[in-house]
A and B are shown apart, each in its own frame.
Chain A
Amino acid sequence: MCQMQRGECSCGHQSRRYILQGLSQNAHKKLRFLPGIVYIDEGGAVGQSVEERQRTVAELQAVFKATGFPFHMVPLEEVLDLPSSVVVMAPSPSEPPASAYKAAVDHFIQSDSSGCLTPQYQEQTLLPEVQESRTQVLQQLIGSAKTLTARQDLLNTLRQHLLVHTARTKGYSKLMLGDNCTRLAVKLLTSLSLGRGAQLAQDTGFSDSRYGDIILVRPMRDYSAKEIAYYNYMFNVTSVFIPSLDTKTTDKASIQRLTESFVTKLQADFPSTVSTIYRTSEKLQTACRSSCTADHPDRCLLCMCALDTAVENASAFQATLTSEQLSQSKSLGATRTEIPRQIRAPVEQCCSSGGGEDCGRAETGGDCCSSAKEPETIDLKSLLCYSCQLTIKDMASVEHLPQYILSEAQKRQRRYQMREEISEFLLDDGDEGD
């Protein structure tokens, strides 16, 4: 499934040409697949009017129809309805035996792989009507972050969740993103500035398997923005321009914007800048830690990467925490900063959210949450990696977060509490006999 990159929307189209070349039976390639196209309409978050969104969508539909691939137009407002399974890592599909490969390729060639759209399919992929109230909820959510940096980060997270969910429900196993070399170089430096150093390999590498069953790939990462722009111009590839959150903002409006400006300016004088950054990113790998399991507590709730916050005392992260605590204890009214990070869960949410999962407290003889007079508060911070913590800290209130995030947070919190309570009775892997 190819994602249309906002900004210069022809990137996805560019990769479509390569897909067509690769799929043609004359090419002696090993890779054969059925692509689809997905477009996430973010007009509601960016502040576009309904007419503008519909106009953009109509333009894009014409472009997509011309490709002949099945396409899906999804408004970002649908992120409010996602199931909490989106932020849970799914097991990766088992590898089929090698002998099945030849049979699969033969079957593929025999079936109609040119991807003709049936009229019935076309009906289903039209953009559904978006209610005004949902757009407002989305705008409230994005608006609750004070800085543009946090807003862009939040938007990226939500968009990625929605993409993964769409890929899962429509039956695709891989998601192709349209990040080009220049964008990835900017993203690398931005990630470092945002505190995402531990997740660099996954954020900028060719393939990203943090979701387990859906692999995110970046096939365009070898091509610079200039090459793609020239290619599109020379070969008359249609492009549609879509404004994003930082369109027409000043250079210092957000960290992402500033980094982009820095890299492009440096590139003008030193043409090897982007490729040097890119080559450096290729050398990054994720070290698999000894406690590398698929357990929920080890993954960040928002970005699904391994948590980087469980480190020993002499680390840079601990130093950051210590200086934060010291500066807070000196300022008056420090308790106000604690409040946004805890949320009050609605009482009726508790036992029904897990779909049959028992509230942990009932088993230990305490009161069931749903009968408690005081609603639960959840400390989101412990469930997030460092940079997602910074994003959440920037939000005025986490109540605006979509329900799937909040309910998954509650579930993990309860699991963690339950584990704490019975930890004495658990056998560690290291215990032998005794």
Chain B
Amino acid sequence: MAAPIAIHLEFGGGAELLFNGVKEHHVTLPSQSEPWDVKQLLVWIQRNLLKERPELFVQGDSVRPGILVLINDADWELMGELDYQLQDQDNIVFISTLHGG
């Protein structure tokens, strides 16, 4: 059984518009039998934090192309993208580089 983990989320570049304009979120993910990974985190965000227009943030399993993801200040491509397993006190940043939010 994995313990609940505390994660710090940040949204920038316009992505915060989809979250009521709030840029920083401190969240605690509930405990579950398997470790949390980024794919599950996205589902969790969509269910609990995303206020509107999910298609502007999530596309299929992953984030919409054009939204950059940083895990602990490193590009998520270096950390395994969706398969990266979250750890306590991780810092995940989503920056939108798109014109249309």
Contacts and interface: CB of A to CB of B under 8 A. Distances in A.
B6 interface: no
A247 to B, nearest CB: 5
Nearest to A6: B99
A264 B13 CA distance: 15
Contacts, number: 67
B96 to A, nearest CB: 8
Interface stretch (B25-33, B62-70, B82-90): B62-70
A264 B66 contact: yes
A182 B53 CA distance: 24
Contacts of A239: 12-13
Interface string A213-237: 0000000000001101110011000
B97 A241 contact: no
A7 interface: yes
Contact of B100 (A225, A233, A247): A247
A257 B98 CA distance: 9
A241 B22 CA distance: 12
B99 A230 contact: no
B50 interface: no
A248 B16 CA distance: 12
A260 B68 contact: no
A251 to B, nearest CB: 8
A367 to B, nearest CB: 52
Contact of A241 (B16, B65, B66, B73): B16
Contacts of A234: 73
A427 B10 CA distance: 70
B42 interface: no
A248 B93 contact: no
A260 B100 contact: yes
A260 B97 CA distance: 11
Nearest to A180: B97
A221 to B, nearest CB: 15
B17 A247 contact: yes
A7 B53 CA distance: 18
Contacts of B99: 7, 183, 186, 244, 246-247, 256-257, 260
B74 to A, nearest CB: 10
A243 interface: yes
A99 interface: no
Contacts of A260: 66, 98-100
Contacts of A261: 100
Given A248-B56, A268-B65, A243 B98 contact: no
B9 interface: no
A257 B100 CA distance: 7
A267 interface: yes
A249 interface: yes
B52 to A, nearest CB: 8
B35 to A, nearest CB: 26
A265 interface: yes
A248 B56 CA distance: 7
Nearest to A271: B77
Contact of A7 (B14, B93, B95): B14
B24 interface: no
Given A230-B68, A248-B53, A264-B66, A225 B14 contact: no
Nearest to A248: B101
B82 to A, nearest CB: 13
Nearest to A247: B101
A267 B68 contact: no
A239 B97 CA distance: 12
Contacts of B66: 225, 260, 264
A243 B70 contact: no
Contacts of B75: 230
Interface string A251-272: 0010011001100110110000
A268 B68 CA distance: 11
11 contacts: A7-B14, A8-B14, A225-B66, A226-B97, A230-B75, A241-B17, A247-B100, A248-B56, A257-B100, A260-B99, A264-B97
- Report the 9 A-B pairs with minimum CB-CB distance, sorted nearest first: A225-B97, A268-B65, A264-B66, A246-B100, A264-B65, A247-B101, A265-B65, A248-B101, A229-B95
Given A239-B12, A246-B99, 20 more contacts: A8-B13, A8-B14, A225-B97, A226-B68, A229-B13, A229-B68, A230-B70, A233-B95, A239-B13, A241-B12, A241-B17, A243-B101, A247-B14, A247-B101, A248-B53, A248-B100, A256-B99, A260-B99, A264-B65, A264-B97
